Amino acid sequence: MTDPVALLLDHLDGVRRSGTAWMARCPAHEDRHASLAVAAGDDGRALLTCHAGCSTAAVVASIGLAMSDLYPRTNGADGPARPAPPRTRDLETRYRVRVADGSHSAERIEHVRLDRADGSKRMWWERDGRKGLAGVSTSSFALYRIDEIAAGGGEQAVLVEGEKAADALAGIDIPAVATVTGAATIPCRDALLALAAMDVVLWPDADGPGLGHMQRIAAELDSIARAVVWVTPPLDAPAGWDAANASPDVARRLILEARPADPVATSMPDLVVVPAPSSPMGVARRLVADRFTDADGMTVIRAWRGGYCAWDGRCWPERDGATIRSETYGYLEHAVYEVETLLGTMLKPWDPTKSKIANAIEALAAVTHLAPTVQPPAWLAGEGLPDPHDLVVTANGILHLPDRQLLPHDPRLFVGHSVPFAYDPDAAEPTRWLAFLADLWDDDPDSITLLQEMFGYALSGDTGLQKIMLLVGPTRAGKGVIARVLTHLLGRHNVGAPTLA
């Protein structure tokens, strides 16, 4: 069955809901004030009243319909509705606009749209009845329909390009405003400030210029609006498709599905939804869960003694603050959080700033805190494990010194370094090293034993004994060789200032 009211509204401009009826610009005369009322009768027929005096027959004829179209018809039980006939005449629509800062208030500035019967359109500006703007910039104009939103105390608005798209949404009770600048320009900041503290849904036209237009506006609204989200046009939408082309159900669905993402992307990546910036502890816990937790649920970053240590697959080397800050920025750069609005639950960009990141990192230190009394090597969890002082972390596992057993790497073993080579139980005796030591201390085996103990102490990673070994001797007596060998055993990244020379 055809709906005569819907059929009429499809052929009218400036449609808006008014109680149980609709108001629109009358096509039978030059209507600037939406003087045509459209309502549904008890029998389903469409009732028309032009407050300027145009007859119903004149209104119907001007949009290419017949009087019979005012009555519902059935095309069979489930047959499709009869398609609306095409326009048979040009239709001119005038949209009144004003300058955002209040200047030129005594003048009548209109955006005129001419929809031709052949489907083409033409638009121009008039200032006090004369074509052109005579020096007034379109970027200075207020958003179309913003006064209606402000008068109603609205806290949300859908921002579209063009007056016709805004009127289409307003006709189905969706608060909508429009830019009137064209895609090449965006409204001035004074115009956009009318959206301050609002939840704004950006609905771009489905073409490159339309997307670019809304992207530039989004950059300005970032510091103005409370939340900014995007409508993504359907993948099969033709070029130029906008809100005026969407059915009411599709329009409402797209708005509820709006997301804070780049609409240029052909496929939208999964968004990371985190707590709001006002909940830094929640953000830190989510960051740890997503980035700093292994497959077994072990936290692999620890705030310890004023810094951070991070598990690298073998041990827990220090992680500098700049790296932590960079990782936090990277995680939150494209994150979003949920905001409850009158349009429903929306996703707002987390938008990391210096202060937000500082709060998140401070919370991260609290969430990952490890008591400063923990002295490596130490086990962070587990029972019945080997004495950590009997373990040396190598490239291919953890060597248990008492029985020479090689254990798998384990993040529960908190130790700051590993040696850069693999343990080889079948390695040959270091004859050249032993010969070198014999040349140094051929009559002093105790010195060789002491050096061996100090090498073992350094390899263990234990610093609890607080001991230092001082090698004293003349030039080219072997001190540098010993220091270089120990440096290579420990790994250069584990050594600082090994000599005083």
Q: For the whole prediction, is pTM greater than 0.85?
A: no
| 265, 291: one domain | no
Q: What is the pLDDT of residue 12?
A: 86
| Mean pLDDT calculated for residue range 103-116 | 86
The chain-wide mean pLDDT, for the chain, equals 85
Examine residue 380 and state whether it is found in any structural domain, yes or no.
Answer: no
Examine residue 381 and state whether it is found in any structural domain, yes or no.
Answer: no
Q: Is the dihedral of CA 422, 423, 428, 434 positive or negative?
A: positive
pLDDT of 217 higher than 90: yes
pLDDT of 457 higher than 50: yes
Q: Which of 68-77, 101-110, 442-451 has the lowest mean pLDDT?
A: 68-77
Helices (H), 262-408: 280-291, 321-332, 354-367
Question: What stretch of H or E contains 258?
Answer: none
**Final residue belonging to a domain, choices 238, 269, 300:** 269
| 2, 68: one domain | yes
| 55, 158: one domain | no
The CATH number assigned to the domain holding 66 equals 3.90.580
Q: Is the dihedral of CA 401, 403, 408, 414 positive or negative?
A: negative
Q: What is the pLDDT of residue 84?
A: 46
**Tally of CB atoms within 10 A around 69:** 21
| 107, 252: one domain | yes
Q: Please identify which residue in the block is written with the tokens 């061996």.
A: 452
Examine residue 45 and state whether it is found in any structural domain, yes or no.
Answer: yes
Q: Dump the DSSP string for 344-385.
A: EEEEEE----HHHHHHHHHHHHHHTEE-TT--SSEESS-SSP
| Mean pLDDT calculated for residue range 30-53 | 79
| 260, 285: one domain | no
| 442, 302: one domain | no
pLDDT of 233 higher than 90: no
Distance CA 389, CA 62 (A): 94
Residue 71: domain span: 1-84
pLDDT of 77 higher than 70: no
Residue with the bigger pLDDT between 438 and 115: it is 438
Report the number of distinct structural domains present in the chain. 4
Q: What is the pLDDT of residue 75?
A: 40
**Final residue belonging to a domain, choices 353, 370, 387:** 370
Q: What is the pLDDT of residue 275?
A: 94
Q: Pairing state of beta strands 91-97 and 109-115? A: antiparallel
User: Is residue 19 very low, low, confident or very high in pLDDT (cuts 50, 70, 90)?
Assistant: low
Examine residue 406 and state whether it is found in any structural domain, yes or no.
Answer: no
pLDDT of 144 higher than 70: yes
Q: What is the pLDDT of residue 265?
A: 41
User: Is residue 83 very low, low, confident or very high in pLDDT (cuts 50, 70, 90)?
Assistant: very low
Examine residue 418 and state whether it is found in any structural domain, yes or no.
Answer: no
| 73, 146: one domain | no
Q: What is the pLDDT of residue 498?
A: 55
Strands, DSSP E only, in 72-223? 91-97, 109-115, 121-127, 130-131, 156-161, 176-179, 199-202
Provide the b/e sequence for 401-429 (b: ≥16 CB within 10 Å).
eeeeeeeebbbebbbbbbbeeebeeeeee
Examine residue 420 and state whether it is found in any structural domain, yes or no.
Answer: no
Distance CA 365, CA 167 (A): 52
210: tokens are 């339309």
Helix axes 321-332, 280-291, angle to 10 degrees: 100
User: Is residue 1 very low, low, confident or very high in pLDDT (cuts 50, 70, 90)?
Assistant: very low
Query: What is the tens place of the pLDDT at every residue in 270-314?
Result: 567 899 999 999 999 999 999 999 888 899 999 999 999 999 999
Distance CA 369, CA 304 (A): 6
Q: Pairing state of beta strands 199-202 and 156-161? A: parallel
Q: What is the pLDDT of residue 81?
A: 38
